[in-house]
Amino acid sequence: MRLAHIKLAGFKSFVDPTHIALPGQLVGIVGPNGCGKSNVIDALRWVLGESRASALRGESMQDVIFNGAGTRKPVARASVELVFDNSLGKVGGQWATYAEISIKRVLQRDGDSSYYINNQTVRRKDITDIFLGTGVGARAYAIIEQGMISRIIEAKPEELRVFLEEAAGVSKYRDRRRETELRLGDTRDNLLRVSDILQELDKQLVHLGGQAEVAKTYRELEARRETTQKLLWLVNKQEAEARRARLAQQVEKTRNDLEAEIAKLREVEAKLETARSEHFGLSDALHAKQGELYESNAEVLRLEQQIAFIVEQRNRLSQQIQNGERQIAQQQTQLQGLRTLRTHWQQQQEDAAVRVATCENRSEVEAQSLPQVEEAARVAQERLNSMQREQMLIQQQLQIFETQRGHVQGNMQQLDGRRSRLMLERDNLPQVDTDLLEQNQQQLAEMQAEYEMQQQQLAELQERLPLADAERRRQRDAVQELGRLLAQTEARLNALQQLQAQLDNDKNLKAWLARHELDHAPRLWQSISIEPGWEDALEAVLRERINALALPHLEDAAGWNEAPPAKLAVYAADGSRRNDAGAHAGLTPLANYVRCQDAQAAPVVQDWLAGVYAVSNLHEALNQRSSLPAGAWLVTAQGHLVGAHSVLFHAPDSQLHGVLARQREIEQLQQEAQQRSAALEQGKQQSAAAEEAYHTVEGRIAPLRSSVSELQQRQHGIQMQNLKLTQANERTQERNVQIAQELEELADRIANEQRQMEEIAEQMAIQREKLSSQQMESDQARQQAGTQDNLLREQRDRAQKAQHELQEARFFAKTCAEKLADLEQNLKQHGETLTQLEEALAHSRNEQANLSEGDADQQLQAALQQRQVKEQVLAEARNNLENATMNLNRMEQERMLCEQKLNPLREKVSEITLKEQEARIQFEQWAEQLQGVDEEPLLPLIEGAKAGGLQNELTRLGNEITALGAVNLAALEELQSAQERKTYLDAQAKDLNEAIETLEDAIRRIDKESRDLLMATYDEVNRHLSELFPILFGGGDAKLVLTGDEILDSGVQVMAHPPGKKNASIHLLSGGEKALTAISLVFSLFQLNPAPFCVLDEVDAPLDDTNTERLCKLIQKMSDKTQFVYISHNKITMEMAQQLVGVTMQERGVSKVVSVDIEEAMKLREDAGGKAAVAA
């Protein structure tokens, strides 16, 4: 692979697009100091991925973009492209098939850097990977810059090992090992996190196992309670169905009685319908007779109108006859006028034909004369155009000379300005400030102390950060646990509140309460509470009254227009209080266990619980029943009522069961939720404090790191300033020499420009004389062309006038023809109109003769007699209809008497129907409870089941569920999810352990391969170094020595033994000896792993002519395998080049490439040598 082309644009001093072709194996880059030769080397390093601005002799990466100079403005981007010849396929990977590979880098002012391979966008790593193991790279041994030889020789042993690794090609192994170590570290971190999660998960599984057992028991009891509840609903549904069927039979019997009475009514209605039909028949007959009378009247009216129409028609025809005679006379007059006009236009048409012939002859004569005049005008115009073109050419030549003169004047001004600027620059060259150097050294010492102090503070904060992070995670976990407990409490609370809300799910009752504005009235159970264990006792005594509504006054119930659609109890405390002083001694009233939060409910509860005493169990109640006063009851904690002569066993039979226990639990849960919410809020505050403490430490680390980095940058800036001051002195001296040379060149160029100015002035005088003569001839030609143009215009005007008169004559002839055609058409139309008028006049006279009103008068008399007869028949029909109407009214009264007897029967049917509907509504309510429930599995269980027993079973199951306490219903799912997660994490931990073993094996294999390859390379480089060192030094020897036992970690030192000296470290050699030793080492690396190309930047500077010749011979020998591009000021080294590339800076701050003819340079050198010999 060979470097074929270098393309630069906007990079440092190469502002213009620059193309450097490198066709040979030995290419030298020459030019004066400061012209930008080393920028070519910087471009190579930059495009190969260099990211350090200091390595490119700049403070920031934007310094590589041309920043303006003199008249040049700064550019927006810099780009460098290297084109390699890969015809031998040395590059591997996906680019192996390309015969030519282009590597390009582009940097924008905004910092956006892009890399391209064959115009495809790639990463920087992709470019680095292409040259791995080849010695080519941004920091590899293939590019040797100014001072690079010294840095290689004075490098630490560890730094020198990098060059050996690059030559051995272990760079890719080192990258692979680093990537493997990173992956191994990530894998170990992942394994640690998985192990921590597994430990927490084991604890969670133990906890969830107990909760899952409780949840399983709860679900079994809940399922049994749900089944029992469905059985209870089904029993209630069947009972409601039986009651509804019984009431339906009663409805059917009453309806039969009603149908009998209705049959009697239908008989009367039949007679009524007959009478009504007869009435309708007579009415229709009356209407028919009346219609016949209307027809007679219409016939009379028609005949009268017909007679009037005949008279009117006769008058109209007379008028039409008069109008027709008048129109005929007018048409005859118009026909005579049209015939006269036709004669006139026929004469005009004949005159127009004669005029057209005359105009055609004259137009033809004028048209024949026009071409001669046009030809004469064309010849005169062409002569004028030719004169003008010649004059224009002379003027263009004058403009060219004027432009050349302006260009020469501009060049002279630029050269004068350049000379003035150079002289000013020479006078203003900067001097080195030694005081500033000493001040910078003192600042560096102070900054180093500040840097060490901040580093210590940063280390302390970094130690505190993991502790703060651990505390933050602990507080966060505590908040999550409190949130989970609060969510469980709120879920249980919401479930109980939904059960309480279902107590009022009767839609009809809710609608009724809303209509009476009672939907927000408080319930009794909301206003009272009872000691734990006595809830069933209070519910058994109060039953539906426990759900009673509070009213302001009981009298309000009397104002309700309709009774409630379901059971409803109400209470108010406005009545007289009952005196309970007669309580039996030795018995505890149940009211003593009740507490009322609402003062209005207290007297009501006392009244309803009067005469009810509480005992612990049924056995005790049976023993004490003999001491009960009349009408009193004993109630057990289970809700069983014991009287003096009876026992009522309690069983849950409605949705009100458990309302007080649920209400107590709701209050407890609300209190617990408030406590846990407060604890959660406190935990959040503590978590926020821990989070804030963590971020405080973290926030202090960031600015401290920034401060440390800033100190480093400031130190670097001062160091660079010292370096710049030192280099500035060197540049000042070099610049003085350059300015003197440039001033001599400027004087020669100014003299050349002055000679060109004089030559241009002479040529402009000659062209001005030609222009004056040409202008006189052009004026004569222009005058002659004007005369011919006037003659041409006059001839064209005459021809156009003759043509216009011809067109007018033809148009008039056409107009005459059209007029005659129109007149003929009008004569034809008027003739046809006259014929039509005469025919219409004859028709009107015939129609008038045929009109007569005698027959119509006779028909009118007959119609008047017939109308009189029909009026008499209509009077008889009206009398018959009045008699039928009287009979119909009598029958209607009989029907109304029958309907009055039906009302009592209908009311009875309605009453029984309402009761049947009530039973049906109850049936539908229970059916609604069973909606979505499959009743088939329940039917075998319902045999022998009673509602009371089922209610007792529901109570027992509810107590067992209550005894379970708080239940995590999601425990089973959480347990299963946790077990699945543990299985997954166990497998993941196993995979991670296997991955760690695999990665550790890979690292061991990489180390072994790297060690073997590096040791072989070490031996091979030592062999080449022992061969090349005597060639460059003319004797002696040198070798590489390891500083440690492990080659992968130890450094490398160079031990040299020049001729006549003792064996010593390279640091003890002279400058020239160091340079030769470094070159020997680099070339030894090349022979081991030849790089595609090698770049040398003035490496021959410290060498004398003898050593330079030895170096050139060695380079020529190695150029068979490696392409060399070098910068040199040494004439011996220049003579070695197969191609020389010159770099100049004629425009200040702008480098340009010029070609150098080696043969011409050699010839000039030989001539100069010969003249020197003759002179000697």
Q: For residue 581, is pLDDT > 50?
A: no
Question: According to the annotation, is 944 in a ligand binding site?
Answer: no
Number of Cβ within 10 Å of residue 1172's Cβ equals: 9
The Cα angle at residue 819 between residues 815 and 825, in degrees rounded to 5: 145
592 compared with 599, residue with greater pLDDT: 592
List, for residues 156-204, the tens digit of each pLDDT value: 887 777 777 777 777 667 777 788 888 888 888 888 888 888 887 787 7
Q: For residue 593, is pLDDT > 50?
A: yes
Torsion of CA 1085, 1087, 1089, 1094, to 10 degrees: 70
405 compared with 914, residue with greater pLDDT: 405
Phi/psi at 587 (nearest 5 deg)? Answer: -115, 145
Q: Mean of the pLDDT values across residues 568-584? A: 58
AA identity, residue 160: L
DSSP 834-856: HHHHHHHHHHHHHHHHH---HHH
| Whole-number Cα distances in Å, 483 to 480, 490, 661 | 5, 10, 26
709 compared with 879, residue with greater pLDDT: 879
Q: For residue 1172, is pLDDT > 50?
A: no
Rounded to whole angstroms, the Cα distance separating 843 from 852 reads 17
Look at residue 33 in the predicted model and tell me its pLDDT.
86
Look at residue 1135 in the predicted model and tell me its pLDDT.
87
Q: Mean of the pLDDT values across residues 40-67? A: 85
The Cα angle at residue 534 between residues 531 and 535, in degrees rounded to 5: 95
List, for residues 224-233, the tens digit of each pLDDT value: 878 877 777 7
Q: Mean of the pLDDT values across residues 348-369? A: 79
List, for residues 114-127, the tens digit of each pLDDT value: 999 988 899 888 88
Q: How confident is the model at residue 658 (pLDDT cuts 50, 70, 90)?
A: low
Longest CA span, the chain: 177
373 compared with 1117, residue with greater pLDDT: 1117
Question: According to the annotation, is 39 in a ligand binding site?
Answer: yes
AA identity, residue 353: A
Question: According to the annotation, is 37 in a ligand binding site?
Answer: yes
Look at residue 7 in the predicted model and tell me its pLDDT.
93
Rounded to whole angstroms, the Cα distance separating 970 from 211 reads 9
Q: Where are the domains of the chain?
A: 1-142+1094-1176, 507-658
216 compared with 733, residue with greater pLDDT: 216
Q: Is the dihedral of CA 666, 671, 677, 679 positive or negative?
A: negative
State the alpha helices, DSSP H only, in 570-658: 601-608, 618-624
Give the three-class secondary structure for 200: helix
Lowest mean pLDDT among 129-133, 445-449, 486-490, 1155-1159: 1155-1159
Q: Which residues have C-beta within 8 Å of that of residue 315, sequence separation ≥ 6?
A: none
Q: How confident is the model at residue 856 (pLDDT cuts 50, 70, 90)?
A: low
List, for residues 473-508, the tens digit of each pLDDT value: 788 778 777 877 877 777 677 767 666 666 666 667
Pull the structure tokens for residue 918: 């009530």
Rounded to whole angstroms, the Cα distance separating 412 from 421 reads 14
Contact 868, 351 (CB under 8 A): no
Question: According to the annotation, is 32 in a ligand binding site?
Answer: yes
pTM of the model: 0.36
**CATH class of residue range 1-142+1094-1176:** alpha beta
Give the three-class secondary structure for 203: helix
Q: For residue 612, is pLDDT > 80?
A: yes
Beta strand 26-30 with 18-21 is unpaired
List, for residues 416-475, the tens digit of each pLDDT value: 887 887 788 777 776 666 677 677 777 878 887 887 787 788 778 777 777 887 787 788
Percent of the chain at pLDDT above 90?
A: 3
Q: How confident is the model at residue 1173 (pLDDT cuts 50, 70, 90)?
A: very low
Look at residue 431 in the predicted model and tell me its pLDDT.
67
Lowest mean pLDDT among 12-21, 105-114, 419-428: 419-428
Give the three-class secondary structure for 120: strand
Closest CA to 469 of 688, 189, 690, 704: 690
Look at residue 367 in the predicted model and tell me its pLDDT.
75
Rounded to whole angstroms, the Cα distance separating 238 from 624 reads 40
Question: According to the annotation, is 210 in a ligand binding site?
Answer: no
List, for residues 385-405, the tens digit of each pLDDT value: 888 788 788 877 777 778 778
Look at residue 18 in the predicted model and tell me its pLDDT.
92
Closest CA to 13 of 1153, 1175, 826: 1153
Average pLDDT, rounded, for the chain: 78
- Give the helix/strand (H/E) hosting 552: none
AA identity, residue 807: Q
Question: According to the annotation, is 38 in a ligand binding site?
Answer: yes
Rounded to whole angstroms, the Cα distance separating 415 from 431 reads 27
Q: How confident is the model at residue 1174 (pLDDT cuts 50, 70, 90)?
A: very low
Pull the structure tokens for residue 344: 């006139």
Look at residue 1003 in the predicted model and tell me its pLDDT.
84
Question: According to the annotation, is 35 in a ligand binding site?
Answer: yes
Pull the structure tokens for residue 448: 């180093």
Rounded to whole angstroms, the Cα distance separating 192 from 788 reads 109
Look at residue 1175 in the predicted model and tell me its pLDDT.
41
Q: For residue 685, is pLDDT > 50?
A: yes
Percent of the chain at pLDDT above 70?
A: 88
